[in-house]
Amino acid sequence: IALYSSDNNTLKENIASHNKQTGMYLELSNNNIIENNTADSNEEKGLFLNSSNLNRVMYNSASLNKWNGITLWSSNNNTIHGNKVLRNTYGIVLSNSNDNSMEDNKTWTNFYIILPIILIYIGVLIYWIQRKIFTMIYREKNV
């Protein structure tokens, strides 16, 4: 689903899944309502706003996309509210975008949120094992 230079539209209860690129794409499109849509399992992004302002993106599902769930690129004064953005590489990404409001979005299980936690745990575990090994080697040499 794509809107180009389109204002004052409502996209509601659509399914935009399993696409080669982006599920829902808005470019130069302002004052639109994007509500209760599904943009899951796309090859790139779920919802992508490019140079689009004053839009309301509410209660959508943008999950299981290979890149971002929701992307705002040079897009200002948008409302991103109550969306499920789960299990994407990145959850919600803003680039060169100002004065946007984001509330009550569910984004916790995105890969790059969990990955640092896993890496820290592995690092601590390796440090602990390494310390035990060096302590045993040092003791054997001093006996």
Strand partners, 111: none
pTM confidence score: 0.76
DSSP 8-state code for residue 127: H
- Gyration radius from the chain CA atoms: 21
CA dist 115 and 89 (Å) reads: 10
pLDDT at 126: 73
pLDDT at 107: 86
DSSP 8-state code for residue 109: T
Note the pLDDT tens digit of each residue in 32-62.
Answer: 999 999 999 999 999 999 999 999 999 999 9
Q: What secondary structure does DSSP assign to 51-98, as a single string? A: S--S-EEES-B--S-SSEEEEEES--S-EEES-B--SSSEEEEEES--
Q: How many distinct structural domains can be found in the chain?
A: 2
pLDDT band at 109 (very low <50, low <70, confident <90, very high): low
User: Dihedral, CA atoms, 36, 102, 105, 37, nearest 10 degrees?
Assistant: 20
Note the pLDDT tens digit of each residue in 72-104.
Answer: 999 999 999 999 999 998 899 999 899 999 999
On whether both 96 and 126 belong to a single domain, the answer is no
On whether both 45 and 69 belong to a single domain, the answer is yes
Domain that includes residue 79, residue range: 2-109
On whether both 119 and 136 belong to a single domain, the answer is yes
Considering the chain, what percentage of its residues have pLDDT values greater than 70? 82
DSSP 8-state code for residue 22: -
